[in-house]
Amino acid sequence: MTMSVGRGRVLVVCSAAGFGLMPVLARYAYAAGLNVPTLLLWRFGLAAALLFGYLALAGRLRLPAGREWGRLLLLGGVLYALQAMLYFSAVRFVSPALAALLLYLYPALVLLLHAALSRTRPAPRQLAAVGVSLAGLAVVLGYPGGGVRLAGVLLALAAGGVYAAYIVLGDRTAGTMPPLLTAGWVAAFAAAAFGVTGAATGSLHGGITAAGWGAIAGVAVFSTVVAIGCFFAGMAVIGPTGAAILSMVEPVVSVVAAAVLLSEAVTGWQAAGGALVLAGAAWGVLADRPPRRDTPPT
């Protein structure tokens, strides 16, 4: 039976809600004594196991072939792992709401990076969209009495930059591997990266409490596996442009969840700046077809 467009939209919104809750769940994990490397090792390890289990039951699990190994190592073991480390570290310094809003500069960065690599000039509407997003960033960071911690801002912006590189390079090196299988292997390579670096640096923590396991389960299951599955299922119905626009619910969910669950409401200036950032992102998506999203969103 063919899925309706309405149901496809609901799935993408559910995906955005899952990703939007992730920085708030990370705060709960930190409060339970987890550090960033330990949380991300379990996040990606459990996500890979669940995705591989589903694909095996569906008869769609296979090993990478040829150059797919190198592509997946770059996307998962380097870029996705680095982006997650930067983003989850940012949440330790700034509110989840602000981190999510800053991350959403990535559509503007995707446009600029794609133009640089393809040696093409962005259309005037695209440049205007970038300008709107940058104006929003200025409002978010420059409002009176901000007191925003610079370390968190820089980490969140760096996460957006790495995510832009992840999307553009994922699009340019796209192979024949199905999206959900790609997501599983990207998660597996990211888990391996955190396992190796964590063991080498002694940064992995044991003795996880029940509250810590609850936060890990929320991040790995709802904010990773379910969110990725809903995104691809919804995008198959409504298309990449519609999915990209509806995914902008993600930072809105982060703002609301941080206010309700953590009592960290944004100010009027931050809300206005965030609205400009999202407006610029939406305008950029509408101004041109976005790159293929066969790599998992964050």
pLDDT digits over 85-126, tens only? 999 999 999 989 889 888 988 888 888 888 888 888 877 887
Letter string b/e over residues 120-137, b meaning 16 or more CB atoms within 10 A of that residue's CB: eebeeebbebbebbeebb
Residue 269's contacts (CB-CB under 8 Å, 6 or more residues apart) are: 139, 140, 143, 144, 146
Q: How far apart are CA 281 and CA 126, in angstroms?
A: 10
Please indicate whether residue 184 or residue 143 has the higher confidence score (pLDDT).
184
The pLDDT of residue 223 = 95
148: three-class secondary structure by DSSP: coil
CB-facing half-sphere around the CA of 295: CA atoms within 13 A: 27
Q: What is the pLDDT of residues 229-269, one digit of tens each?
A: 998 888 888 887 777 778 888 888 998 899 899 988 777 77
The pLDDT of residue 269 = 78
Q: How far apart are CA 19 and CA 250, in angstroms?
A: 6
Is the separation of the CB atoms in 111 and 129 below 8 Å? Answer: yes
Domain boundaries, the chain: 5-287
The pLDDT of residue 29 = 97
164: three-class secondary structure by DSSP: helix
Is the separation of the CB atoms in 287 and 125 below 8 Å? Answer: yes
17's tokens: 């809600």
Q: How far apart are CA 199 and CA 194, in angstroms?
A: 8
Q: How far apart are CA 208 and CA 230, in angstroms?
A: 29
Q: What is the pLDDT of residues 17-69, one digit of tens each?
A: 999 999 999 999 999 999 999 999 999 999 999 999 999 999 999 999 888 89
272: three-class secondary structure by DSSP: helix
Reported as a pLDDT band with limits 50, 70 and 90, residue 297 is low
The pLDDT of residue 292 = 47
Residue 68's contacts (CB-CB under 8 Å, 6 or more residues apart) are: 175, 177
What mean pLDDT is reported for the chain? 87
